[in-house]
Amino acid sequence: PTYQVSPDNGVTWYYYTGSAWTTTTKTDGTETNSASIINTNVATLDTDGGTFLWRAYLNGNGSQQVELDEVSITYSTAPTNNAPTDIQIDGLNTDNQDENVAINTSIGTLTTTDADGGDTHTYSIACTTPGDDDAHFNILGDQLRNTTVFDYENPVDDDSDNNYEVCIRTTDSGAGNLTYDEILVINVNDLNSAPTNIDIDGADTDSVNENTAANTSIATITSTDDGEDNTETYTYSLACTTPGIDDAHFNISGTSLRNTTVFDFENPVDANSDNTYNICLQVTETNGGLTYEEAFTVTVSDVNVVPTDIQIDGANTTSVNENVAAGTAVGTLSGTDDGENVALTFSLVAGAGDTNNGVFTIDGTNLDINASPDFETQSSYSVRIQGSDGALSITEVFIITVNDLDEVAPTITLAGITPVTLIQGDVYIDAGATCTDDIDPTCTVTTVNPVDTATPGTYTVTYDAQDTAGNNATQVTRTVTVIEVQSSRSGSRAYSPAQVALLFAKARGETVTTEEEPTNPCTISYTRLITRGSRGNDVRQVQSCMNTLGYTAGPEDGIYGPLTYAGVTAYQRDHHLTYIDGIVGPETSATLNGQ
C-alpha cells in the first residue's frame, strides 16, 4: 500500500514489517511498502480497507517513539474475511456440571478463535451434524446452559455414560458471516446428596396389634437416596429436629421399628388418646453424614382376645346355704376379657366337670339352683360354665359347696329335783339347768323364776335356750310348792321332824290318815363333822335328807358343794339351831334324825 508520513524531516524511520524492524530514509514524506500495525499480534498487513494509526520510532528496538500525525492508508482492494477456527467453553473443549442443578443454569462461557480480530461472534446449537445430546442444552448469549436436571445415577445422554456431547456453532460478524462447528463434551459430576425419603414397610404409615409384646418388630425401615451406589449404608433413629409426640413408645434396632410399650386399644397412651401414634424417623448416611427426617403414624389395631377369667361373686368358688328355696340365685357371674367393651354371655356347657349342670340354670348373669339343697344329702355341686364375647370363649369348672346349717335345737337338762316343796318363809335357791347343743358350744339357759316363798302357792320355774342358729330348745319347767303353816304364839317356826315330814307328805299329795306325826324320813350316820369339801356316803345321806325335806341340796352325789351348803344352812336357820354355819355336827345331825 501507499502511505504518507509527515512531517517530512529527512530522518531515518523504522517500521515493523510483521516479522522484523526495517529502516527507510524519508525525505519526501512518501513511501510504498508492506507494513503491519505496530505492536499488534496480527499477520502482515495486506488489505484492510480502513484508516490506521501508525507510529514511527527512531531506533530499531522501538524504544523511542516519534509522535506522528494520523495517517490514512488506503488499500486498492478490500481485505478477505477469515472463518473462525476454534470454539472453547471456559477455555477448554470440555466442561462439567454437577448433578441435580436446576435447568437453565450456566455451564460455561463460549469463546471463538478467529484470525479476524475485529469480528464478533454469535453461538447456536445448529451444527450441520448435530451432537448426540443437543436436546439437553440451550445457549443464552455466550452462556451454554442445561435444559435437563441431570441425575448422575440415571444418565439420559445417548451413551448413558454421563458424558453429554453437544455441537456448538459460532458465526462471525465478518463478510459472509462465516461459521465454525465443534463438538463440546459436558461431564455430569456425581454428588453425594441427602436421602429423599423414608418408608416403613414401603409406606408412610403402619399398624400394630394391641397386646403385642414389647420390642416386637413392627416394620422394616427403608430409605431413598437418589440412587446412591450400594456402598452407602444408613442408620435410623428417633432423633428428629422436631421429635414426634409419641416417640417414647418406640425404639429402633437396625432397620426394625419396634414398640417399647405393650399397647392396649381400650386404654390408649398416645398424646391424642386416639390410638394413632405420631413418630418422627431420621436416616443418616454412614459415609456422607447427610440426614433426612420424616413423620409417620403407627395405628394400634383392636384385637379380639380370648376372655381370661370367669368369676362368681368376684371369686372362683362360692357356696349356698342348705334349705334355700328352689330358684335362689347362688351368685352373680362376671368375666374378664382384657378390657373388651363387650359383656360376656354365660352358659352351662357339657364337658369335664359338668356333673351337676342339670341342678342349675343361668338367667342372664345369675346362677340359680333349681332345687332346695340339703347338706346331709349332697354337700357340693360341680358345674361347667362358658363365657363368650360372641367370637371367643373361656370355660371354667366351679365347685359350689353347700353350707351345713345348725338345724338341731339345743337340749335343756334340769339340775336337782322337781317338784320342790317349801314351807312358807323358806329360802328358795334354784338348782338351775344346763344346755347342750351339737354345734353351738356357747348355748346358755334363760331362767324365769317367779317363786315367792313368803306367799304360799304353786310356782313354775321355766328354763329356755336358743343356739346361735336360732333353734329354740323345748322349754323345761320345775314346780315349786310353798306350803302355808300356822306359826306358834311366840312366832317361832320350830317344827319337829315329824311335823315337817307330815307337811311334806301332804305337799307331795300323799294320803295322810292320821294327824299323828309320821316316821322321821332322815337317818344320818354321824361319825364326823360334815362340811364343805366332805365326800362320802354320809354326805349323800345329808343330801337325800335335805332334798326330801324340801331343802334343795343338789344332786345326791356324796360331794358337799354349794347347793348342799345352801340346803343345810336353810334347815339350820328354820330350826333355830345354835350354829347356822352349814356344818352338820352333833346338833344338826340329831335334829335331822328326830332326836
Q: Among 173, 189, 205, which residue terminates a domain?
A: 189
| Residues 212 and 292 occupy one common structural domain | yes
| Residues 179 and 202 occupy one common structural domain | no
| Residues 512 and 451 occupy one common structural domain | no
pLDDT score of 516: 45
Is there a domain that residue 488 lies in? no
| Lowest-confidence region among 47-61, 397-411, 559-573 | 47-61
pLDDT score of 506: 53
pLDDT confidence of 52, banded at 50, 70, 90? very low
| Residues 289 and 375 occupy one common structural domain | no
| Strand-pair category, 94-98 with 179-189 | parallel
Q: Among 39, 57, 80, which residue terminates a domain?
A: 80
Element (H, E) at 97: strand 94-98
Q: Does position 298 have pLDDT exceeding 50, yes or no?
A: yes
| Lowest-confidence region among 43-52, 255-264, 357-366, 501-510 | 43-52
Instruction: Find all residues with CB under 8 Å of 89, minimum gap 6, and list them.
Output: 95, 107, 108, 109, 110, 111, 144, 168, 184
* 362 DSSP assignment: E
Interatomic CA distance for residues 286 and 232, integer angstroms:
7
Cα 473–477–478 angle (5° rounding)? 150
Q: What is the largest CA-CA distance in the chain?
A: 222
pLDDT score of 494: 42
Cα–chain center distance at 126 = 73
When mean pLDDT is compared over 193-202, 270-279, 511-520, the highest value belongs to: 270-279
| Residues 204 and 290 occupy one common structural domain | yes
Here the CATH number for the domain that contains residue 461 is 2.60.40.10
| Residues 173 and 122 occupy one common structural domain | yes
| Residues 329 and 392 occupy one common structural domain | yes
Is there a domain that residue 438 lies in? yes
Q: In this structure, what C-alpha cell is assigned to residue 372?
A: 332346695
Query: What is the residue-wise DSSP string for 22-33?
Result: EEEE-SSSEEE-
Using alpha carbons, list the distances in angstroms from residue 191 to 101, 194, 229, 286. 10, 10, 11, 15
| Residues 575 and 543 occupy one common structural domain | yes
Considering the chain, what percentage of its residues have pLDDT values greater than 90?
A: 56
Is there a domain that residue 492 lies in? no
Count: domains in the chain: 6
Is there a domain that residue 491 lies in? no
Is there a domain that residue 45 lies in? yes
| Residues 320 and 286 occupy one common structural domain | no
Here the CATH number for the domain that contains residue 168 is 2.60.40.60
| Residues 158 and 244 occupy one common structural domain | no
Domain interval for residue 444: 411-424+433-483
pLDDT confidence of 354, banded at 50, 70, 90? very high
Is there a domain that residue 285 lies in? yes
| Residues 53 and 92 occupy one common structural domain | no
Report yes or no on whether pTM surpasses 0.75. Answer: no
Using alpha carbons, list the distances in angstroms from residue 502 to 423, 482, 515, 559. 12, 14, 8, 28
| Strand-pair category, 143-146 with 106-113 | antiparallel
pLDDT score of 268: 96
Is there a domain that residue 490 lies in? no
Q: Among 234, 266, 301, which residue terminates a domain?
A: 301
Is there a domain that residue 517 lies in? yes
| Residues 415 and 393 occupy one common structural domain | no
